[in-house]
Amino acid sequence: MKPTTVHADTQGQSQPVFALAHLLGFDLMPRIRNWKGLTFYRPSKQTMYVHIDALFGEPGKNIIDFDLIESQFRHLMKVAVSVREGAISSSTLLKRLRSGSKKNAAYAAFREVGRVIRTVQLLRYLSDPALRRRVTTATNKTESFNRFSQWIGFGNRGVIADNDPVEQEKAMKFNALLTNAIIFHNALDIAEIVRQLMEEGWEIDPEDLSHISPYLTEHINRFGEYSTHELGIQPEAYDPKLDVDFTLLREPDSAPAGFGQAA
């Protein structure tokens, strides 16, 4: 999977994360809160803007250190390649680049690159209403998925009480597996109903389908019904095709997007 865009919540917008996303070749577009606490950075002390200079604070301050970025560029690229090739996980890297590493040259360089990318993204966010709507929509989808996953993981009120990291990981992975299985089941049911409506002569508007969520719970019995005589029955092959044209809903410059969690 090679997404061109990854969405996250507000906690996903730290400067090193922006830098790593840029070096790995995708746009990081998190939901942004607490704008008053964010800093816009100038490319040089001499840079002044006619209409938006107030966003950048006092003249001569909040300047990008491009000399540091240049001196550490080869190291930054080595780190990015290591993450891409799986030699080091992104989570491990970001732990090493935590804010307590301010004396580390690599951290400082990642931070400077992140300041550049985040400033550009903030300006894009301010000037592009369509981008703001897209970020909000994507974030809402992620939150809906999280609520759906929590609804399914109702045992012990969703609390993982085991102190064993292996058991904790099992609980999270099994919950994710079950969540995705039910989403898959819901999507198949929705597609089948759409086919039946089309066979009856109904005209299906893709705009209407775009508002249907697979995170449906009303028809699900979380406690289950068990019939042992059905264990040997093989389900029919599912049909992934749906004769509805969704191309009209895509923006001309849109690209496949992924859902990240800063996480």
Q: Is 19 exposed, middle or buried (0-12, 13-18, 19+ CB in 10 A)?
A: buried
103-154 pLDDT, tens digit per residue, is 678 888 989 999 999 999 999 999 999 999 988 888 888 889 989 999 998 8
Mean pLDDT, rounded, of the chain: 84
Q: Is 165 exposed, middle or buried (0-12, 13-18, 19+ CB in 10 A)?
A: exposed
Assess whether pLDDT exceeds 60 at residue 228. yes
For the ranges 5-9, 124-128, 225-229, 251-255, which has the lowest average pLDDT?
251-255
Higher-confidence residue of 96 and 237: namely 237
Assess whether pLDDT exceeds 60 at residue 263. no
Long-range pairs, 49-54, Cβ under 8 A, ≥24: 52/123
Higher-confidence residue of 33 and 127: namely 127
Helix 15-23 vs helix 105-127: angle between axes, to the nearest 10 degrees? 90
pTM for the full predicted model: 0.68
Higher-confidence residue of 15 and 91: namely 15
Q: Average pLDDT for residues 181-206, to the nearest whole number?
A: 92
Assess whether pLDDT exceeds 70 at residue 178. yes
Predicted pLDDT of residue 102: 57
DSSP β-bridge partners for residue 124: none
**Portion of the chain with pLDDT greater than 70, in percent:** 91
Q: Average pLDDT for residues 5-18, to the nearest whole number?
A: 82
